Structure 1
Amino acid sequence: MKQATNTSAAVAIAENKVTLEQWRALLAVIDAGGYAKAAELLNKSQSAVSYAISQLETALDVKVFHLQGRKAVPTPAGELLYRRAKQLLEQAGRLEKSAACLSVHVEPLVKIAADIIIPPIFILQCLEIFAKAFPDTRVEIFESVLSGTEDALLQRQVDLAIGGRVPPGFMGEKLVTVMMHGVASPVHPLLQLGRPVNHEDMRQHRQIIVRDSGQYRRRTEGWQEADQRWTVSHIKTSIDAIRMGLGYAWLPDAYTHDDIAAGRLKYLPVEVGSAREVTTYLTFADRDFAGPATRHLAEVLKENLPKMCSFS
């Protein structure tokens, strides 16, 4: 029976005997549990929905419902077709979006450089929003540190960049002000002094530093005068080292917020400069020639990142 249903359905689809509207009627009746509620869902008359189902059954030569009182209950064939129709309509929806994108010359690929001073999870959450409007546009993310973001723009590797500086010849707009604090493990010696920490204290202990990803590694940020320094490539590695009591660092609050709240990390009681602000900017490689997908992604980032990075 199932094989016959599959064959007749495939033939009907191939010969265009069943329309998308008829498949929508099938889904609506099953989802709503009856013809009357399906009619409300589709904003059609009940007779129109009933006629669509009748036409579908005739085209496929199969019964898709039987009545139990006033309720339309799908037959085994109807349940099978429901699953297939749902996939078909989802594919049709994606096809319509793809066609709409092609009609307005949407770029097939958007490249973005994002300094990891903003947690990558926030960038991914923005991309999730972006993908709803541009599902067929591919995205490449370059996770960068300090001058690596500028290099990506200068070398025209990306369409958009999020970083702490705007290189000469480019126009950026303020995106997020990132708050950073000195942090260490609760058992770190600097937190056992019982007084504010000064520069001489910090110089005697290991600092964990995140490496500049730029080609020439020409930038440093924050306190860099500790006699002992370990350099890593990602903030997450720095946090792991600090949790282990291996050193201290200045890190964005977005990364340390949960650890501070849970007591796994503590702020360094520094005499001067315990907190610092880093302004990040959103910069187009070429705003005039940016396509609709790139522009839309920029708007999503501007609307959502400030809220995601707020821990007030």
Structure 2
Amino acid sequence: MYRSPRITLDQWAAFQAVVEEGSFAGAAERLNKSQSSISYAVAKLNEQLPAPVLQLQGRKAVLTDEGHVMYRRATLLLNQAGETEDVANMIASGLESEVTLAVDGLMEPTTLVPVLEQFSQDFPSTRLRILETQLSGTVEMLLEKKADLVIGGQVPVGYLGTPVDSCRMIPVAHPEHPLFNRENGDAINDYELRSWRQIVLRDTGIRRNQDAGWLGSEQRWTVSHFSTAVKVLKAGLGFAFLPQSWIEEELNHGLLKMLPLAWGAERHLTLYLMVAATDAAGPATRALADIIVANCPSQSLTD
């Protein structure tokens, strides 16, 4: 059964101020109240609690053992009350309670870490929902307004995209894959690749599935995420076109190796930031877009 608190926030605030200012006079000045009202609030607080939290030693108020505990709890309570009022003010000003960001799997996750850190500092009361999508599923998030912001490799007609990253898709396999043991040692053409198992990424789209990067291999294994593809490749079970940013460590340690394709075939993709509804975007959504543009390595795309 709910029990209404007997002690008010004003009393806790007076208690906190006395502790932090070291005197009733200092607390009164800080809270812009009379010293007598501060003294009364603390005295009433001592009466209402099972044990006093402050004791007078001369002209100085000193925390009791119980007071040390209650000071920490009072500080937490007052901070939460202040945050609640901040949230109410933000909602009244049109600030979103939640922002949804859809990110295509082509973007290596650590790229967004500084973005998330800054957004959490600037908008601590706004929840952030991140959706990991692939291929046409990324576009669907935008077209169907299931996300406020989208990072993907395709900009649909009617939308604008700001370049925020680039992706180099390279063909790789385990160093002991038979493709590296060909007798003539010539570069591999696409016809030869079709004879080997290719690992491809599953499209998260519902309306129009894509097989981006698939060469029409006789054998095809489909996985849901690049991290799964990396594990399959390290086991020597096929080849795949993967973002170089996802496999830098494996390449450096010789766990995966780039296939020598004819004419150095590879794919270079640009990743764009898109806003689902520019005119209806709230302040948190617009701020997150600005943070992404400022922190992601887009400068290299325009140099």
TM-score tier by shorter-chain length is 0.7 to 0.9
Q: 1:66 to 1:222 in 2, by over 3 A?
A: farther
**RMSD of aligned alpha carbons:** 3.6
Write the distance in 1 (CA, Å) between the matches of 2:39 and 2:256: 67
Which residue of the other structure, out of 186, 198, 203, is the alignment partner of 2:194?
Answer: 203
Cα distance in 2 between the residues matched to 1:22 and 1:263 = 63
Give the equivalent residue in structure 2 for 1:224: 215
- Check whether the contact 1:162–1:281 (CA below 8 A) recurs between aligned residues: yes
Contact 1:66 1:75 in 2 (8 A): no
Shift of 1:176: 0.9
Query: Hey, what does 2:261 align to over in structure 1?
Result: 270
- AA partner of residue 232 (structure 1): V
Matched, 1:18 2:12: yes
After TM superposition, give the deviation of residue 246 of structure 1 in Å.
0.8
Residue aligning to 1:164: 153
SS at match of 2:217: coil
> Does the CA contact (< 8 Å) of 1:106 and 1:293 recur in 2?
yes
Aligned partners of 1:56 and 1:82: how far apart in 2?
15
CA distance in 2, matches of 1:231, 1:272: 27
Unaligned runs of 5+ in 2: 47-51
Three-state SS of the structure 2 residue aligned to 1:161 is strand
Write the distance in 1 (CA, Å) between the matches of 2:264 and 2:213: 9
Q: Note the 1:93-108 alignment, pairs <5 A.
A: 93-108=82-97
Hey, what does 1:41 align to over in structure 2? none
Give the C-alpha shift of residue 166 in structure 1.
Answer: 0.7
Instruction: Give, in angstroms, the shift of residue 125 of structure 1.
Output: 5.7
1:190–1:201 CA contact under 8 A, matched in 2: no
3-state DSSP class of the match of 1:140? strand
- TM-superposed CA distance for 1:203, in Å, is 2.5
**CA distance in structure 2 between the partners assigned to 1:57 and 1:268 by the alignment:** 76
| Stretch moving more, 97-106 or 231-240 | 97-106
Does structure 2 conserve the Cα–Cα contact (< 8 Å) formed by 1:65 and 1:78? no
| 3-state SS, counterpart of residue 205 of structure 1 | coil
Evaluate the alpha carbon distance shift between residue 263 and residue 97 of structure 1 in structure 2; reply closer, same or farther with a 3 A threshold.
farther
Output the CA distance in 2 between the equivalents of 1:255 and 1:66. 64
Partner SS state of residue 200, structure 2: strand
User: In structure 1, what is the equivalent of residue 282 of structure 2?
Assistant: 291
**Cα distance in 2 for residues equivalent to 1:86 and 1:258:** 46
In structure 2, relative to structure 1, the CA distance for the partners of 1:75 and 1:151 (3 Å cut) is same
Long gaps (5+) in structure 1: 1-9, 30-34, 37-43
With 75-84 and 205-214 compared, the bigger mean Cα shift is at 75-84
Q: In structure 2, what is the equivalent of residue 146 of structure 1? A: 135
Aligned: 1:131 with 2:126: no
Deviation at 1:252, TM superposition (A): 1.3
**For residues 3-48 of structure 1, what are the alpha-carbon distances to aligned partners after superposition, in whole Å with 9 as ceiling and x for unaligned?**
xxxxxxx64436x3232x652563x58xxxxx69xxxxxxx97996
The alignment covers a number of residue pairs equal to 282
Distance 1:224 1:103, change over 3 A: same
2:12 partner letter:
V
Distance apart, 1:148 and its partner CA: 1.3
Once the two structures are TM-superposed, the CA of residue 117 in structure 1 deviates from its matched residue by 0.9
1:79-98 equivalent positions in 2, closer than 5 A: 79-98=68-87
Distance 1:65 1:226, change over 3 A: farther
Report sequence identity in percent.
36
Q: Pick closer, same or farther for the CA change 1:45–1:222 going to 2, 3 Å.
A: same
CA distance in 2, matches of 1:306, 1:260: 22
2:101 is aligned, of 112, 122, 142, to 112
Q: How does 1:210-249 map to 2 (within 5 A)?
A: 210-222=201-213, 224-249=215-240
Q: Is the 8 A contact 1:182 1:249 kept in 2?
A: yes
Amino acid aligned to 1:221:
A
